[in-house]
Amino acid sequence: GLGAGPTATLVVDLDSTICEVHGYAKQGAAYGYTKVRGYHPLLATRADTGEVLHARLRKGSANTARGVVRFVDELLARLERGGAGEAIIVRADSGFFQHKLLDRLSRAGVGFSVTIHQRAPVRTAIDAIPERAWQRIDYPDGDAHVAECLYRGRRLIVRRVPGHHSTQGQLFATWRYHAFVTNLAGSAWALDRSHRAHAVVELSIRDLKAGPLAHLPSGSFNANSAWLQCAVLAHNLIRWTAALGHAGTDQLIVAKTWRHRLFAIPGRLVNRSGTPTLRLPARWPWTHQFTTALDALRALPPVPG
């Protein structure tokens, strides 16, 4: 199937987003930390395909981490039922940092990398890292270094980049720090690069909010929850069709592009000797992807039962 196989590492990104709504007859809609009135759903996406693995609608006033441990429990149960292997990695930003979540992932044997709030104890740990421990890395915005230390028994990996007001040749450089905790093995620079890739979750969120989640139409919270699940299903159908067409996952493409390439393709259904035949334009640039996806879809085994 399209899910992760038993030998594949499944990387899951956790995130949340504010879905703005208008009108006052909306159960659960409220102002949250963004000062926007709406709902605040939780999402878990698969990093290499962009498909949504789990979603739950929440009230607009819910803070980022509210209900995340139960959400992860539901997610892991779904992945187990879907045949995912034991190699699972969960990535998240600082809004989800809480020891209860990390402990739950550790007990389940799940790898994690979660951005940490840089409160005073964390900054003290970072300041104690010796200068010789910092390793230069390739970074899109220029000069950057990574190092690591232990923080409350957990592996803390830190990336530093020049501060906004740093100037070349100044006596004492100023740095901005980005830190995350992890239970994964590997070099600090490789794990930092992997953790930065968590940003890919924003592409799925953008797709959803540019489509069905542009609004949540009902006054009923339960109806809007169902709307969210339908939106997720539509999003996933696009991603699965792209995967069936061997579109490649090295660079995720927005849903609007797939709708243009695969779903808006002009064609004509003709009857040849009693056999329905789909005729496609010879010069459509993505005809091969479409026919590959169609053949793969037809070849899928039937669903048992």
56-104: pLDDT as tens digits: 999 999 999 999 999 999 999 999 998 887 799 999 999 999 999 999 9
> How far is residue 225's CA from residue 237's CA, in Å, rounded to a whole number?
19
| Proportion of the chain in helix, strand, coil states, percent, rounded to 5 | 35, 25, 40
Q: For residues 263-278, give the mean pLDDT.
A: 87
Mean pLDDT of the chain: 89
| Residue 235 and residue 52 in contact, taking contact as beta carbons nearer than 8 Å | yes
| Residue 108 and residue 76 in contact, taking contact as beta carbons nearer than 8 Å | yes
Q: Which pLDDT score, from 0 to 100, does residue 173 have?
A: 64
Ordered by start, the domain boundaries in the chain are: 10-220
Q: Which pLDDT score, from 0 to 100, does residue 260 have?
A: 85
Q: Is the pLDDT confidence value at 3 over 50?
A: no
In the chain, the percentage of residues whose pLDDT exceeds 70 is 92
Q: Which residue has the higher pLDDT, 110 or 264?
A: 110
Q: Is the pLDDT confidence value at 162 over 50?
A: yes
In the chain, the percentage of residues whose pLDDT exceeds 90 is 63
Token pair, residue 191, equals 């794990």
Query: Can you identify the CATH homologous superfamily of domain 10-220?
Result: Transposase Inhibitor Protein From Tn5; Chain A, domain 1 (3.90.350.10)
Residue keyed to tokens 């899109």: 140
